Amino acid sequence: MTTAFLVEDRDGTRLLTLTVPGIVVRLLTVLPVLVALAALHRIAPGAAWWPSAILAAMAAVSAEVPDSGAGLVTLGGLVAWWLLATDQAGTGWALLVAACGLVFHVALAHAAAGPPGCAPTTAVVARLAVRCAVVLLVTAAIALVVEVAEEWGEPPTLIVGGTLAIVGALPWLAVRSRSTSPPTAPSPERTPG
């Protein structure tokens, strides 16, 4: 059971419902965009602020209506603004922004997947965290390969081929792991709250 703060009008119509999971999902939607924008302005202090303000507002809109197109516009805008505003950002900064984009995407997709007010179970949150960690580790490994290849000048064919093979095999491995896992009894992944 989830504790909620309700605001109703005199007729008993709900005007506002605040739950802890709802607040957490909204924070995980807005804060990563704000962190990414702060990183952008840290490495590109001369960048204009108005695109960042629009993206921050779009992140707030995305948190409120997660099943709309606002999230796609926000994520696309964040990537475009990062590419336009930063010339030679280091790999660490790019990985930070990639992690922020991933957290934004996962929180928003999770919020849009169920009815409003549903709270994720601990198992669902743990599974999402593991999947995000795997994606970030693969991203960091590919970034490391790019950094090493950049230092060598012309990247060796073996490194390029190996990286492409790993990237190409990931979707196949993901589908294969789902199809070979034993069927389990249906369990509620979300509890109403």
Report which residue type is found at 136. L
Determine the average pLDDT of the residues in 2-28: 76
By the 10 Å C-beta count (0-12 exposed, 13-18 middle, 19+ buried), 104 is classed as buried
CB count within 10 Å of CB 111 equals: 24
Residue that wins the pLDDT comparison between 170 and 47: 47
40-96: pLDDT as tens digits: 999 999 999 999 999 999 999 999 888 899 999 999 999 999 999 988 767 788 889
Cα distance between residue 170 and residue 166, in whole Å = 6
Pairing assessment for the beta strands 4-8 and 190-192 based on DSSP bridges: unpaired
Report which residue type is found at 110. H
Whether residue 25 contacts residue 111, with contact meaning beta carbons closer than 8 Å, is answered with yes
